[in-house]
Structure 1
């Protein structure tokens, strides 16, 4: 269900911008303010836009953030049972390859307590429940530890919620490109207005078009199977979607690659590399024979490729030793072949 936000206020008028990060690398999520359910004095508008359709300056947003932080410090926040809280209806993250940073955060909270409140809104459909606006990792940590969680309860529509998440992510700058594309796709599915999607992601129309295009071509379940792939930026994802769009058989090769047991255990960047290799068409051979030469350039033999038939001929001088070498290396070549193409 999409909630309509009140008229006469810009989206960003309802929450603040970036707080100073907590003094630890274990929890990179900084607090930011929102339109709290405890009244806050309104702030005059400024003329320049901040992100896309917004009409508030970053300085003004920070000022409003500081007001709400003062309210929290004075006891304006709440302590909630984490089991009464649900994640955001607009997931913006794929699972991490490693849980090391999360475990470090959980240990820190267990030893020193929760320093920074999360932000939640009341669930629009279920009485007595809440939804996370930002602070998912702190919420998960509290849930695992079985402790209450400090939270600021704000009143946000769906559109305001996604922009709040977008500002939170922009502050950390750790969403991978494909996670941003998935976030845009999920907002599209929920009928969030394009101007609000641009504001949430701080992108212009051409970049939003690229984010959408990749998710239109590559099925969501395939993207989720690849994962965050933080090193695979926009050019490689766009190239991957172009290859899949141009070759109807490419998607089958991608799915076969991802279905291999060994592939599922790899880091997401490695999974992306294998998928990227699988969609590339092998270069057309100009001839059916390939000469085998030594590093010095002497002809060792030749390989002949015909329909379903591969012949390898080696000179008498090297036949015995090369045959033994080839027999030893062949299992490894077969394994590399299956890992590259995902062939069964």
Structure 2
């Protein structure tokens, strides 16, 4: 992408502050920012992603010094809209947000959010990052300190991606949804890869899950921070291979009791729904020795499993099973994707 005249690198425009840095700055007693607004600045984002980490950090520190010196302006939160590319699902608990809101109420907002002028609505803005501070200001009924940037859609998503990489707390499915929404908006694959710092194979995996699972299903499950790629892919694969599986997942997620569970547990219920075997009252399986001789049987009835072994092998097999059971359970949970 051609660099605009006078354009600056991405961190010189929006500053990739990490969550911890932003939080620490909220709690320091800086002097209130002056009313003098920062001039709007341009952005040459994609080229900036090739810059060295040292250069990016230096530019971030330069912006921080400008902010600490009183840069920024104040906006009515009602004039601000969220990013057109959501990268967050609701948390299971609002405790952290309530703590942030209390801190801003008591000590004021120290670090400005980053916004761009709304490309389709005169006089409005869109958040680049700082959604939680914007929401806190809106709920407190106060103006929000902001730095106004000039960013295209591609530049905005890369900006969000760098900020998320600094925090490193997006769950795998949030990354998948972020990529999916960028795809839907026509963002080029190279810009999606830059925003998420991923390669082509990982982008393909993110896309495959969102193709198989409706966004509504993913949103009902939620962030599921402890659920990684293997189990999400397992769920998506099961739905793709069995048309009735999606119906079972949707039915499971329509249960208010399930929806009241933490998001990791909601995912487990959804995965259990697609793996559910057809109802059976009772089944038996013969257990054979190496020569094909039947030496026992296994009986499965609901949640009950019963092994019957010929008397001549019973004692030895019982000892063997007792020794091997921990290994067998480890293999089971590894297959289920649990640790």
Task: Summarize the Cα distance change of 1:71–1:110 in structure 2 as closer, same or farther, 3 Å threshold.
Answer: same
Superposed CA RMSD in Å reads 3.2
CA–CA distance in structure 1, aligned partners of residues 214 and 284 of structure 2: 39
DSSP 3-state at the match of 1:17: coil
Aligned to 1:194: 189
Distance 2:186 2:232 in 1: 24
| 1:119–1:221 Cα change, 3 Å | same
Look up the match of 1:104.
99
Shift of 1:131: 0.5
Helix, strand or coil for the counterpart of 2:264?
Answer: helix
Give the Å deviation of 1:221. Answer: 0.6
- SS of match in other structure, 1:76: coil
2:136 matched residue in structure 1: 141
Deviation of 1:289 after TM superposition, in Å, equals 5.9
Could you say which residue in structure 2 is the equivalent of 1:17? Answer: 16
Residue 115 in 1 paired to residue 104 in 2? no
Find the counterpart in structure 1 of residue 56 from structure 2: 61
Matched, 1:270 2:269: no
Q: Partner of 2:54: helix, strand, or coil?
A: helix
Q: Tell me, yes or no, if the aligned pair for 2:224 and 2:263 is still in contact at 8 Å.
A: yes
Equivalent residue number for residue 84 of structure 1: 79
Conserved? CA contact 1:13–1:56, under 8 Å: no
Structure 1 unaligned residues grouped into runs of 5+: 28-35, 291-301, 306-344
Identify if the C-alpha distance between structure 1 residues 62 and 285 changes in structure 2 by more than 3 Å, giving closer, same or farther: same
How does the TM-score come out when normalised to structure 1? 0.72
Alignment: residue pair count:
276
Query: Structure 2 vs 1, CA of residues 285 and 304 (structure 1 numbering), >3 Å: closer, same or farther?
Result: closer
Find the counterpart in structure 2 of residue 75 from structure 1: 70
TM-score, normalised with respect to structure 2: 0.73
Q: Distance in 2 between matches of 1:63 and 1:155?
A: 21
Change (3 A) 1:39 1:227: closer
User: Equivalences for 1:1-344 in 2 at 5 Å?
Assistant: 6=3, 12=10, 15=13, 16-18=15-17, 21-22=21-22, 24=24, 37-38=39-40, 54-282=49-277, 288=283
Q: Secondary structure at the match of 2:253?
A: helix
